[in-house]
Structure 1
Amino acid sequence: MSFNDDDDDDQYLNFLELLNDTDGTTDPSYVLSKTVRLCQKTAVNQFGAQIIPMFYYVNFFLSFLGNGLVLFIIYKYEKLNTVTNVFLLNLVLSNLLFSSSLPFWATYHLSEWIFGEALCKIVSSAYFIGFYSSILFLTLMTFDRYLAVVHAVAAAKSRKKALAVVASVVVWCISIAASVKELVLRTVSRNQFSGLVCEESGFAESTMKHWRKVSYYQQFLVFFLLPLFMVMYCYISITVRILSTRMKEKCRTIKLIFVIIFTFFVCWTPYNVVILLRAIQISMKEEESCAASDSLDKALYVTRNIAYLYCCISPVFYTFVGKKFQSHFKRLLAKKIPCLSRHLSLNSQSTRTTSQRTPHSTYDH
């Protein structure tokens, strides 16, 4: 054996000794200048495997039930000749796109990624495109309501179908651009502990950390803070406007506005606070304890699914509070279940008259 071979063997033995060192100490002569903490994520992974598949399947079921019902009512009773219906259709499609990825992720958390690299990229991209676009379409719908109520006269000329289509295309483009990294960086690799994994890889760890940090801040600032401020401003302005009118159902409308703002805030804030904490954690140079990291991961699992649940049921929440969609739903029930027709008060003509009399009021129709 040559000198170089002996030297390589010594280095290999030193590496094994460092790897098997259970006291947390390192050889002073080794090239590393600090101890690297390796956190075992067994407990976190088990926690995720227990709750995530259930949440994902529930979200998937509720999403396809609720969004599918709204989509059917739009097809059956409505026309895409109004700004509200154009935004609503796009919101439903974005939620269906998002929720279509959930069964794949549920299966992934139960075992490993068994769907191949192509689906890894496609499902990841669909997941984020649907997620981001649904938030932006919710914001657009809120802004549209603000224009219709607060600036009714001016909005009569500006709220055109063509502008709604252009705005929808812009939202889809922004959502796709924000999700491009999933298509580029997501790959399937084999992990000795988890089996086949679908995750972002292919670059140095420092580069991957940078992209994760950018994603977290992008999520918090662009897809939470900005929509939250817009939603709050629009609905507060709508409330002030309604209070200054002689609207018969003033109290009911204000209660509805409060419920919308409160639900949006409660569902989205915890998840985005955790996202911000993870971004700060990555930005800090000091290593965080394994216990704190595990707690943050568990909080992310829970809060993320609450946010996703709101994302899935939002079209139902935003449509069936209106009288027009309530009337459509009653007509649909009476047609499919005739024995219920005597218990449902159907007054389509009254609804159409109200809709024609107040074409810009999104709370009366």
Structure 2
Amino acid sequence: MGEHSLDDYLKFFEEANNTVIDNAVYEEVPLCEKSNVIQFGAAFLPAFYYTNFLLSLVGNGLVLCIIYKYEKLTTVNNIFLLNLVISDLIFAFSLPFWAVYHKSEWIFGSGLCKLVGSCYFIGFNSSILFLTLLTFDRYLAVVHAISAAQSRKKKYAFASSVIVWVLSILASIKDIVFYDVMDGPNGRLCEMTGYIPSTLTKWELIGYYQQFLFFFLVPLVMVLYCYSRITIRVMSTRMVEKCRAVKLIFVIVFTFFICWTPYNVVILLKAIKISFGDPNKCSEALDYALYITRNFAYLYCCISPVFYTFLGKKFQRHFLKLLAKRLPCLKINTLLSEPSSKSASVKSPTLITEHSRD
């Protein structure tokens, strides 16, 4: 009987020791086997991230170049557009780091782990807020053109931009605090760590609900309201140029939400699963869905500059001017001279929607 008790004691001590080690080192790592999901990410994500980064760099760089050479920061719309491009570039900055991370392990140290971990959320939060600001500014310009003419000044644009950046950074403080380097079973990881599992789970839930409610659902409601009012106003005025401008913003914002809605739905499902589901129940479905929808959302950083460049009438002319200077052999001057006579009496919108003076 004494021998049996000693065996039981050793077995108990071994299990307790393993539990302590697991909690100390791998406390954030789920107990589920996710090797298939990890292999899927390692095979698919790096090339996608590199491609997305290059496309975003070229597209947003083109927008910045045209603003600098032809538009300047003379209108409220251009100020918001410039900040939106900066948001996309901040977001794209993180992609090469995540590409290396998914391919092998985190090799960039603790400081970059915190910085890169927060750049994604700062870029996303500011992007959605600046898109909402662009839509709200168009709502003021179209629906309340006379009463809003005095308030839509550059001071208003700069103040609104500062507020957006402050809110975006405040919403990302938790990521700056919690993201750090830890040792995992297959190398070094850049994840939320350093606190007990219950604390990390609590802040993870706060992040999920914060993103879905304040950086997706509320902007979506505002955009739908603004566009319903803008549509009614445009239908009553029958102004072709204004209608074209509104269609352009609608395409841009609609594409944004098409790209981001699946990801936010998955985020909400994960939050519900953590809040009300069985924590010991393993399922790879949401992990695969998160990989796919999140990377589908990343495409927006490449798509939005394409809209700015090729759907905006005045932006098209600026782009052609830029090509004419760099590639004179293309003989683009004839294309530039064609609409000049037609637009002599009609004011075309600048960049996205500048159909009224700011």
How far apart are 1:54 and its partner, in Å?
Answer: 2.3
- SS of residue paired to 1:198: strand
Under a length normalisation based on structure 1, what TM-score does the superposition of the two structures give?
0.85
237-246 or 305-314, which moves further after superposition? 305-314
Q: Which of residues 101, 108, 130 in structure 2 aligns to 1:115?
A: 108
> 2: distance between equivalents of 1:88 and 1:355?
24
Which residue of 1 is the match for residue 292 of structure 2? Answer: 302
Shift in CA distance, 72/255, structure 1 to aligned 2, threshold 3 Å:
closer
- Residue 216 and residue 209 in structure 1: after superposition, are their counterparts in 2 closer, same or farther (change >3 A)? same
After superposition, where does 1:287-326 map in structure 2 within 5 Å?
A: 287=279, 289-290=281-282, 293-318=283-308, 320-326=310-316
Q: Check if 1:66 corresponds to 2:64.
A: no
The CA distance in 1 between the partners of 2:59 and 2:316, in whole Å, is: 14
Is the Cα–Cα contact under 8 Å of residues 323 and 351 in structure 1 kept in the other structure? no
SS of the residue corresponding to residue 152 of structure 1 reads coil
Identify the residue that residue 13 of structure 1 maps to in structure 2.
Answer: 11
CA RMSD of aligned residues (A): 3.0
Aligned-partner Cα distance in 1 for 2:276–2:203 = 15
Q: What is the percent sequence identity of the aligned residues?
A: 61
- Match runs of 1:259-298 below 5 Å: 259-284=251-276, 286-287=278-279, 289-290=281-282, 293-298=283-288
* Match of residue 228 from structure 1: 220
| Gap regions ≥5 residues in structure 1 | 21-36
How far is 1:16 from its partner?
A: 5.0
Distance 1:351 1:114 in 2: 58
Q: Compare 256-265 and 10-19 and name the one that shifted more.
A: 10-19
The equivalences for 1:1-365 within 5 A come to: 10-14=8-12, 16=14, 38-192=31-185, 194-248=186-240, 252=244, 256=248, 259-284=251-276, 286-287=278-279, 289-290=281-282, 293-318=283-308, 320-342=310-332, 345-347=335-337, 362=353
Shift of 1:10: 4.0
Post-superposition offset of 1:262: 3.9
Closer, same or farther in 2 for the Cα pair 1:129/1:260, shift >3 Å? closer
Q: How far is 1:286 from its partner?
A: 2.3
Verify the 8 A CA contact 2:63 2:305 in the aligned structure 1: yes
Counterpart AA for 2:189: V
Change (3 A) 1:11 1:179: farther
User: What is the rounded CA distance, in whole Å, between the counterparts of 1:65 and 1:135 in structure 2?
Assistant: 21
SS in 1 for 2:148: helix
Compute the displacement of 1:15 (Å).
Answer: 5.8
Match for 2:262: what amino acid? P
Deviation at 1:297, TM superposition (A): 0.7
The Cα of 1:294 is off from its aligned counterpart by 0.9
